[in-house]
Amino acid sequence: MPTSRLTVPVLLGPTGVGKSEAAFRIARELEAEIIVCDSRQVYDQLDIATNKPSQENLRRVHHHLVGMADPRGVFSVKDFVQLAGATIAEVAGRGPLPIVEGGSMLWADALTDGFSLSGVPPDPALRRRLEGMPLEKLDALLRRLDPEANVDLRNPVRLIRAIEVLEAVGPPLARTRTRTPPVWRPLRIGLTASLATIDARLAERSRRQLERGLVQETRAALKAGVAPQAPVLTGIGYAQAVAHLQGDLPEAELEPAMNLANRRYARRQLRWLRRDSRIRWFMAESDPVPGILAYLRETLI
Residues annotated in the binding site for ATP, as ranges? Answer: 13-20
Q: Is 256 in contact with 90 (CB distance < 8 Å)?
A: no
How far the first Cα of the chain sits from its last, in Å, is: 13
Residue 231 pairs in a beta bridge with: none
Question: What is the spatial distance between Cα 107 and Cα 82, in angstroms, rounded to a whole number?
Answer: 11
The gap from C-alpha 115 to its chain's centroid, in whole angstroms, comes to 16
At residue 157's C-alpha, the angle toward residues 176 and 229, to 5°, is 175
For residues 36 and 100, give the distance between their C-alpha atoms in angstroms, rounded to a whole number: 6
Residue numbering of the annotated binding site for substrate: 15-20
Rg (CA), the chain: 19
C-alpha pair distances (Å), 10 with each of 100, 272, 284: 5, 15, 16
Instruction: Return d(Cα 13, Cα 191) in angstroms, integer.
Output: 5
CB of 154 closer than 8 Å to CB of 265: yes
Q: Going by C-beta distance under 8 Å and a sequence separation of 6 or more, which residues neighbour residue 211?
A: none
For 69, which DSSP code? B
CA distance 32 to 259: 33
Question: Residues comprising the binding site?
Answer: 13-20
Q: Enumerate residues 6+ apart whose C-beta is below 8 A from 110.
A: 77, 78, 80, 81
Q: Is 222 helix (H, G, I), strand (E, B) or coil?
A: helix
Amino acid occupying residue 177: R
